[in-house]
Amino acid sequence: MDINSYPCASASYDEMTAIHIDFTWCFDTKGYRPKGGRLVRNGGDLQAYRPLELYPTLFKIFSECRSEKNVVDFVSKFGPLITSRPDLIMTRALGLPAVMAARGDSIREVIQQAKWMAKLLSNHKADTPQIPLTSLEAFLVTGSGEIRLKLSPSRLIDGLWLQAAQSITSGRDLQECLHCGELFEVGPGSGRRLDAKFCKDEHRIAFNNRRRSNPL
């Protein structure tokens, strides 16, 4: 799984459902390492970012975490999944790596969550256990004559389940671009038709030009 090959996008707001996932997260700039079945910070600075806005298909990347190496690579790039926001803030404020070491993500639990998500994505009617979302805050936001629902999860794993549910219920799907091989969304609200084969028009043109230049 090459987690660096996936595209970025600009929003996790779904116009179909009028739901906005408001989520800021942090990751250790020096990465994480396995220790005693859990993931421990390497002691770098914590960098804040908005993962669900930068990576609208992050839930799909996560569903491919089937091994310890996959989990270490994912967490090192995107941050811990099961650790809560208060733990991140406390660790950063107190400068205590031991706090994160004691409460770091369980590798086994992360892999199990990834398996459940993969099962759900392969079959939306799959019999998966109920997924509890912890410390999820909901707000009604008014403006421009509209009322919108804003959800603010406290953990990355909760944000990923929300992102997956939003994608599934929106009627969108994922396709692999024939030119670059990257995943992109198709269907309502994505800007690409359900039968689209390319993530952008430039890649469709480049693909067709290459075929004309190198016919079989």
Question: What does the pLDDT look like over 140-178, one tens digit per residue?
Answer: 888 777 778 888 998 999 999 999 888 877 766 767 788
Regarding whether 61 and 27 lie in a shared domain, the answer is yes
143 vs 180, higher pLDDT: 180
Residue 2 inside a domain? The answer is no
145 vs 179, higher pLDDT: 179
Regarding whether 215 and 114 lie in a shared domain, the answer is no
Regarding whether 147 and 44 lie in a shared domain, the answer is yes
Query: Would you state the pLDDT for residue 131?
Result: 77
Q: How confident is the model at residue 86 (pLDDT cuts 50, 70, 90)?
A: low
Regarding whether 193 and 159 lie in a shared domain, the answer is no
Share of residues in the chain with pLDDT > 90 (%): 38
Residue 132 inside a domain? The answer is yes
Q: Are 162 and 151 in contact (CB under 8 A)?
A: yes
Share of residues in the chain with pLDDT > 70 (%): 76
Range of the domain at 197: 172-216
Residue 130 inside a domain? The answer is yes
Residue 1 inside a domain? The answer is no
pTM, two decimal places: 0.69
Query: Would you state the pLDDT for residue 167?
Result: 81
Regarding whether 212 and 111 lie in a shared domain, the answer is no
Regarding whether 192 and 141 lie in a shared domain, the answer is no
Lowest mean pLDDT: which of 9-23, 35-49, 126-140, 155-169?
9-23
Best-predicted range by mean pLDDT (37-46, 65-74, 127-136, 178-187): 65-74
Regarding whether 184 and 118 lie in a shared domain, the answer is no
Average pLDDT over residues 23-50: 92
Number of domains in the chain: 2
Regarding whether 55 and 35 lie in a shared domain, the answer is yes
Q: How confident is the model at residue 49 (pLDDT cuts 50, 70, 90)?
A: very high
Regarding whether 98 and 178 lie in a shared domain, the answer is no
Query: Would you state the pLDDT for residue 56?
Result: 86
Lowest mean pLDDT: which of 38-47, 49-58, 133-142?
133-142
